[in-house]
Amino acid sequence: MARHLFDGGVAAVELTEARAVLAAAGFALLPASWRRPAAVNRRLVVALGVALGLVNATYYVAVSRIPVAAALVIQYTAPALIVGWLAARSRRAPSRDVVLALVAAFVGVILVVDLAGSVAGRVDGLGVFVAVASAFFFASYSVLAEKAAPRYGPTGAMFRGFVVAAVMWTLYQTPRGVPHALLARSNLPGVLYAGLAGTLLPFLLYAWGLRRVGAARASIVATLEPVIAAVVAWAWLHQRLSLSQVVGGLLVVAAVISLQRPSRPPPPAPPP
């Protein structure tokens, strides 16, 4: 849908702003969004909002400069960033199950998006840099949302974050005038879809899942996105899937399933 809107003259920044505004408005309609915390942490909310506001913008810029496959693979280094950050913060190595799932999911994404066949001869330094920034903001909002959820609730955290993102992009866009292409009647259905079905609903579900499984596992599960896209393209658009893409999809699915196994209990302490 975003690609369709870009072809219709909508600028990436305009769509990013619209998604943030529509998501904030949608979250505002949910009573759980207005939960009052015992103590307010404005820095946390602002940081979450900046990360939410920039993750889509950097990804859109990346796909405009480098192949989508390369941008996807770079963005999905975010789970590794999260696992590394959590390990450094806790000063404890991640579990073997998480590491194996992380590796399997990353290799699976590389195979699903056919990275080798998509980027031959096309390297753009700025595009790669912006894609890395997108991975950083993906990891950041996952960790920050998990941190904010106990204070504001998962819905309240996302609501406040998207309000910050909406204000940030509105202040940026206002001096540039009215976004006529964004508000064109032919584009409005797509804009509403991108804001509600493509932003509000998935971020609501992601926030709900974050609180239950944590940032590391949630981000690895999110690597199912390109797998589902490949299956939809095969079923709906009649695009062919190679053997390596099928194997990659199975790797990602196996990684996600492995994370659902209950953790092994620690060995009993030796008797005194």
Q: What is the 3-state secondary structure (H, E, C) of the chain?
A: CHHHHHHCCCCHHHHHHHHHHHHHHHHHCCHHHHCCCCCCCHHHHHHHHHHHHHHHHHHHHHHHHCCHHHHHHHHCCHHHHHHHHHHHHHCCCCCHHHHHHHHHHHHHHHHHCCHHHHCCCCCCHHHHHHHHHHHHHHHHHHHHHHHHHHHHCHHHHHHHHHHHHHHHHHHHHHHHCCCHHHHCCCCHHHHHHHHHHHHHHHHHHHHHHHHHHHHHHHHHHCCHHHHHHHHHHHHHCCCCCCHHHHHHHHHHHHHHHHCCCCCCCCCCCCCC
Mean pLDDT across 243-254: 82
Give the range of the structural domain holding residue 197, as residue numbers without chain letter: 2-93+121-213
45 domain residue, yes or no: yes
Residue 188: CA atoms inside 13 Å, Cβ hemisphere, count?
4
Answer yes or no: pTM beyond 0.85. Answer: no
Q: What is the pLDDT of residue 80?
A: 83
User: Band of the pLDDT at 264, cuts 50, 70, 90?
Assistant: low
Residue 180 has pLDDT above 70, yes or no: yes
78 domain residue, yes or no: yes
Please tell me the distance from the alpha carbon of residue 9 to that of residue 186, in angstroms, as a whole number: 11
241 domain residue, yes or no: no
Name the domain count of the chain: 1
Please tell me the distance from the alpha carbon of residue 188 to that of residue 190, in angstroms, as a whole number: 5
253 domain residue, yes or no: no
208 domain residue, yes or no: yes
237 domain residue, yes or no: no
272 domain residue, yes or no: no
Please tell me the distance from the alpha carbon of residue 44 to that of residue 228, in angstroms, as a whole number: 32
Residue 250 has pLDDT above 70, yes or no: yes
pLDDT digits (tens, 9 = 90+) for 75-130: 888 888 888 888 888 888 888 888 888 888 888 887 877 766 655 555 677 888 88
Mean pLDDT across 124-138: 86
Cβ atoms 19, 194 nearer than 8 A: yes
270 domain residue, yes or no: no
